Chains A and B, each alone.
Chain A
Amino acid sequence: MNIIVCIKQVPDTAEVRINPATNTLVREGVPSIINPYDLHAIEAALQIREMTGGKVTVITMGPPQAEDALREAISMGVDDVRLVSDRAFAGADTWATSYALYKSIEKLGYNIILCGKQAIDGDTAQVGPEVAEFLNIPHIAYVKKIETVSNESIKVQRLMDEGYDVVESELPVLLTVVKEINTPRLPSLKGKMAAKKAVITKLDLNAIGAEEENVGLKGSPTQVKNIFAPQAKTDRKMLQGSVEEQVDALVQELRGLKCV
């Protein structure tokens, strides 16, 4: 069983703030982490390997510093990693990202591909399904539980608005997973040692055999026109006085709204 996990290194968005004076992100001191949903994808891959045997390969596309994310994946116990990195990939939207990942994965051989449901920086949830379409394999998104897995097929629970569906698929298949699926393991000491020593295989544009017009900014149908801070409300009323006076004023307002 060949299991591939696609991960992304992201800024820890919980720490990102906007500077209202300049309308820009304050990124100082914000750490880079493995996208939290991707940790669940790695854990799911390791658990499948424990059941069926096989090999787990983690792949990421990103700048050279994304190597840190791959080392962290190694420390969790994955067998192999690939860093897809080239200046030509810069500015890629989800189409161009999916295309580059597809070209990279195509050569690796795969039975199951796992992704986190979305990355917390872009929050698009598009790359997983797009990679599946490029590879011409089925996918199941928002997987919250893997019920059974064999060398030919898999049965999972897919989160829907009002509950979940039980979905079966033949292999190969791509799954995107949600947090409920598992609790990611912590790196082991042995894993940390392995991570330190590991030589990271880097794949550039030529190595994955991608056409330049399909990657990076050139290959991206969408463009970011501008970014801005969300608008503030104009009619806000800060209640005044001691805490008790403020609460009294609020009860008064709620009374006016016929809530009391």
Chain B
Amino acid sequence: MRIVVNIEKCTGCGLCIDSCPFTSIEIKEDKAFINEYCQLCRACMSVCPEGAIIEISEEGDVFKADISAYKGVWVFAEQREGVIASVAYELLGAGRKLADELKTELSAVLFGSTADEAKELIKCGADKVYHCPDPIFEKFNDEPYSQLLTNLVNGHKPEILLAGATPIGRSFIPRVAARLKTGLTADCTSLEIDSETGNLLQIRPAFGGNIMATILCPNHRPQIATVRPRVMKRGEHNPDRKGEIVSVTDRNLSCRTKVTDTVKEASHCKVNLQEVDIIVSGGRGLGDAKGFEMLEELAELLGGAVGASRAAVDEGWIAYSHQVGQTGKTVCPKIYIACGISGAVQHLVGMQSSDIIIAINKNPEAPIFNVATYGIVGDVNEVVPLLIKKLKEAKA
């Protein structure tokens, strides 16, 4: 496939130039020209008012694997120290919906842990659990995890495989996708079934989260996605739900890495941002590290914790453990107060599912106001001290 300009239609307006994320469009002799930097993202096609930018296919473009043999939705249920992580139950919630829509089975895959834990997966929506209690899975090592999951997929051929976008899922699932030669979409925030084709529509932030993208894996199976924790709703818990636990063994698992110690860092993040009801978050608009002292006071007053945007962390004003957003934590507190945060989408994707968002920013056009429940236009260094004062008065 190639993206080309129909020069009969092109008026040389140049709108497409700014739309190209790869600066691959230039104007030559008053017409747009797409050069060899083009990455085929199609961003330019939708902006051309003349419809002059078109896709042309080249021979040998389409490869079709035999995808009809693949059936069923799978969820990889990760465990830590034997306990299934909450993201696994969220995947069951999402996976159940997809399986029902496709009129197929939902299975969970559990490595390590116990049969009792496996039963919980059934109560939360799984029809079947493939469980391998091998002690090799006690600690997380990429190789045995990817070997066994690859073997199971080859044996049972699911059409969809979901895993948590956690340090574990994001580390070993790529090996599975590489080995199976199939597509893997990272860190999805929404999943839907295309009613026409039955393909999985995998929606995720892209380009630093400044835009959203829908990714398809039309000709390969399984369609694999890692899913961001705390975005999907947990599968409903039904103690009477019945299902089958299939015990799995594999004698050929090997491992060249070894976990010699596991260190929990209580001080890594004094308050776990993912568990508090109120977060007061600061961004570049604070101006300096001292701004965070003010936010701490406000957070303390409200009984919450302090978060930060990537900009503030990059400036060195606050530790990375406070970072909210694409490359930091995803949070959904009851109240999120964004102070001096403009709202790059990479930040928004990490907090926009909060129940109530209060935005304080001096720029009324700041994108943070697009997701805000309440907006105050003003300088944070003026608004926040006043807010602290008024809250104290109200409390007194």
Residues of A whose CB lies within 8 Å of any CB of B are 11, 13-14, 16-19, 22-28, 63-65, 87, 90-91, 93-95, 98, 118, 120-130, 132-134, 137-142, 155, 157-170, 173, 179-180, 213, 217-218, 220-230, 232-233, 235-239, 243-244, 246-248, 250-251, 253-255, 257, 259-260
Chain B residue at smallest Cβ distance from A32: B23
- 3 smallest CB-CB distances across A and B, nearest first, come from A13-B208, A221-B183, A91-B40
Q: Are A14 and B61 in contact (CB under 8 A)?
A: no
CB within 8 A of B37: which of A65, A123, A225? A65
Of the candidate stretches B112-120, B122-130, B236-244, B366-374, the one touching chain A is: B366-374
Q: Which residues of A contact B356 (CB under 8 A)?
A: 257
Known: A17-B210, A260-B394. A235 touches B373 (CB 8 A): yes
B334 CB to nearest chain A CB (Å): 8
Chain B residue at smallest Cβ distance from A125: B170
Chain A residue at smallest Cβ distance from B272: A162
| Bound Cα distance from A159 to B262, whole angstroms | 10
Q: Are B256 and A170 in contact (CB under 8 A)?
A: yes
Q: Are B184 and A95 in contact (CB under 8 A)?
A: yes
Q: Which residues of B contact A141 (CB under 8 A)?
A: 142, 167, 170-171
Of the candidate stretches B13-21, B68-76, B96-104, the one touching chain A is: B13-21
CB within 8 A of B370: which of A127, A224, A233? A233
Chain B residue at smallest Cβ distance from A155: B260
B273 CB to nearest chain A CB (Å): 12
Q: Are A251 and B258 in contact (CB under 8 A)?
A: no
Q: Are B167 and A98 in contact (CB under 8 A)?
A: no
Flag whether B363 is at the interface (Cβ < 8 A). Answer: no
Q: Are A233 and B207 in contact (CB under 8 A)?
A: no
* Interface hub of A127, A161, A236, A239 (most chain B Cβ within 10 A): A161
Q: Which residues of B contact A98 (CB under 8 A)?
A: 174, 178
Q: Are A123 and B208 in contact (CB under 8 A)?
A: yes
Chain A residue at smallest Cβ distance from B150: A133
Flag whether B41 is at the interface (Cβ < 8 A). Answer: yes
* Interface hub of B205, B207, B358 (most chain A Cβ within 10 A): B207
B221 CB to nearest chain A CB (Å): 9
Q: Which residues of B contact A179 (CB under 8 A)?
A: 320
| Bound Cα distance from A11 to B211, whole angstroms | 14
B13-47, CB under 8 A of A: which get 1 and which 0?
A: 00101111111100000000000111111110011
Q: Are A230 and B215 in contact (CB under 8 A)?
A: no
| Bound Cα distance from A213 to B65, whole angstroms | 13
Chain A residue at smallest Cβ distance from B302: A259
| Bound Cα distance from A94 to B41, whole angstroms | 14
Known: A24-B47, A227-B41, A259-B302. A221 touches B182 (CB 8 A): yes
B283-304, CB under 8 A of A: which get 1 and which 0?
A: 0000000000000000000100
Chain A residue at smallest Cβ distance from B205: A123
Q: Are A166 and B263 in contact (CB under 8 A)?
A: yes
Flag whether B9 is at the interface (Cβ < 8 A). Answer: no
Q: Which residues of B contact A91 (CB under 8 A)?
A: 1, 39-41
Q: Are B256 and A169 in contact (CB under 8 A)?
A: yes
Known: A25-B207, A129-B174. A217 touches B268 (CB 8 A): no
Chain A residue at smallest Cβ distance from B382: A243
Q: Which residues of A contact B184 (CB under 8 A)?
A: 94-95, 124, 126, 222
Flag whether B196 is at the interface (Cβ < 8 A). Answer: no
Q: Which residues of B contact A22 (CB under 8 A)?
A: 15, 19, 46-47
Q: Are B320 and A161 in contact (CB under 8 A)?
A: no
B389 CB to nearest chain A CB (Å): 9
Known: A217-B40, A224-B214. A259 touches B178 (CB 8 A): no
Q: Are B208 and A14 in contact (CB under 8 A)?
A: yes
Q: Which residues of B contact A124 (CB under 8 A)?
A: 184, 186-187
Q: Which residues of B contact A18 (CB under 8 A)?
A: 210-211, 345
| Bound Cα distance from A127 to B201, whole angstroms | 22
B268 CB to nearest chain A CB (Å): 6
Q: Are A25 and B43 in contact (CB under 8 A)?
A: yes
Known: A14-B311, A163-B264, A232-B370. A239 touches B375 (CB 8 A): yes
Known: A125-B170, A167-B257, A169-B256. A238 touches B185 (CB 8 A): no
Q: Which residues of B contact A137 (CB under 8 A)?
A: 256
Q: Which residues of B contact A230 (CB under 8 A)?
A: 205, 211-212, 345, 348-349, 352, 370-371
Q: Are A225 and B19 in contact (CB under 8 A)?
A: no
- Chosen A-B contacts, 26 in total, with CB atoms closer than 8 Å, are A13-B209, A24-B18, A24-B46, A28-B18, A63-B37, A64-B37, A94-B184, A123-B186, A123-B326, A124-B186, A133-B175, A155-B260, A157-B263, A160-B168, A218-B63, A222-B185, A222-B216, A224-B216, A227-B212, A228-B214, A237-B373, A237-B375, A243-B376, A247-B390, A250-B387, A254-B302
Chain B residue at smallest Cβ distance from A94: B184
Known: A25-B210, A227-B211. A94 touches B174 (CB 8 A): yes
CB within 8 A of A25: which of B15, B179, B211, B372? B211
A249 CB to nearest chain B CB (Å): 8
Known: A28-B18, A221-B182. A138 touches B187 (CB 8 A): no
Q: Which residues of A contact B345 (CB under 8 A)?
A: 18, 230
Q: Are A139 and B142 in contact (CB under 8 A)?
A: yes
Q: Which residues of B contact A157 (CB under 8 A)?
A: 263
CB within 8 A of A168: which of B41, B258, B374? B258
Q: Are B186 and A126 in contact (CB under 8 A)?
A: yes
| Bound Cα distance from A22 to B47, whole angstroms | 7
Chain B residue at smallest Cβ distance from A140: B257
- A238-B364, A246-B383 known; 8 new pairs, CB 8 Å cut-off, are A19-B18, A123-B187, A125-B170, A126-B170, A129-B174, A173-B256, A180-B320, A221-B220
CB within 8 A of A122: which of B206, B258, B268, B379? B206
| Bound Cα distance from A120 to B206, whole angstroms | 9
Q: Which residues of B contact A169 (CB under 8 A)?
A: 256-258
Q: Which residues of A contact B255 (CB under 8 A)?
A: 138
Q: Which residues of A contact B334 (CB under 8 A)?
A: 257
Q: Are A133 and B146 in contact (CB under 8 A)?
A: yes
